[in-house]
Amino acid sequence: MEENLNDLENIKIEGEHIEIEIDGVLVHGIIPNRSHGEIEVRITRPYHGIMHSSGHNMVQFWQFTSYIGPKGDVRAASILADLYHFCAYVEAHKTALLSTLPEFDTALDDPDTIVIKQRMRTILQKLKSHNFDLSSGSMDSVQYQQQIAPLKEEMKNLSYEIRPDIYHLFMASFQAYEGLPMGRLHVQTALDYLTTVRRRESEKEAKPHLEYGSQAGVVVWSLSRLPHL
């Protein structure tokens, strides 16, 4: 189905900044990457910590599907709306969703998947190292391309091996949440955000609570309010 800007309200795009209105709520985001074949959107308000990219179109179709220009604006607004609806649902059902996440983690960590993930982490470290070598001048662009091309190809192949398992396990673990508004978000995008939310909740619980004493400026640590360890 073709996207339509009229489906959303008060869309404003200035440079990399984008703002839309959904049911009276102003939703802000940025477009850190936009090219003929790909567009990336990150939500910044009222939620943050999640982004989504779309594209990789074939060159011969750029004249019809280029993300430079109005069609890119439409896609960016649509992605931002998907991100907002997903984040709002997670916020409303946070406790239940986070209680299901450990089951998914346990199911995902089978031996074959662990090996693949370890190899992917190793490749990412090598890619970062080559990026540093290129930026520091210790490697020229030809050498850089020769080094990263096989690594990127291997990473792509590994992602194909692991992706069906992730999708299957995600659907099995979260099947009770039929209303989960994924839109066109990738399963990995949803999982990364849920993991981020879980980390934030853990950090909040780990912070000791403070009580102020009767004297101004005196902070008293209340052991009774410390989280149970």
Domain range for 124 is 95-176+186-206
Q: Which residues pair with 12 in a beta bridge?
A: 19
pLDDT in tens, 14-35: 989 999 999 889 999 999 988 8
Q: 219 in a domain, yes or no?
A: no
Q: 213 in a domain, yes or no?
A: no
Domain end marker among 40, 71, 93: 93
DSSP run (H or E) holding 204: helix 187-206
Q: 223 in a domain, yes or no?
A: no
Total-model pTM: 0.62
Q: Are 78 and 113 members of one domain?
A: no
SS (H, E, C) 205-225: HHCCCEEECCCCCCEEECHHH
Confidence of residue 219 (pLDDT cuts 50, 70, 90): very low
Q: What is the pLDDT of residue 11?
A: 85
pLDDT in tens, 70-128: 888 888 999 999 999 999 999 998 888 888 888 777 766 677 777 888 898 899 899 98
Confidence of residue 4 (pLDDT cuts 50, 70, 90): very low
Q: How far apart are CA 177 and CA 99, in angstroms?
A: 12
Q: Identity (one letter) of the amino acid at 199?
A: R
Q: Are 30 and 131 members of one domain?
A: no
Closest CA to 39 of 3, 9, 88, 1: 3
Q: What is the pLDDT of residue 114?
A: 78
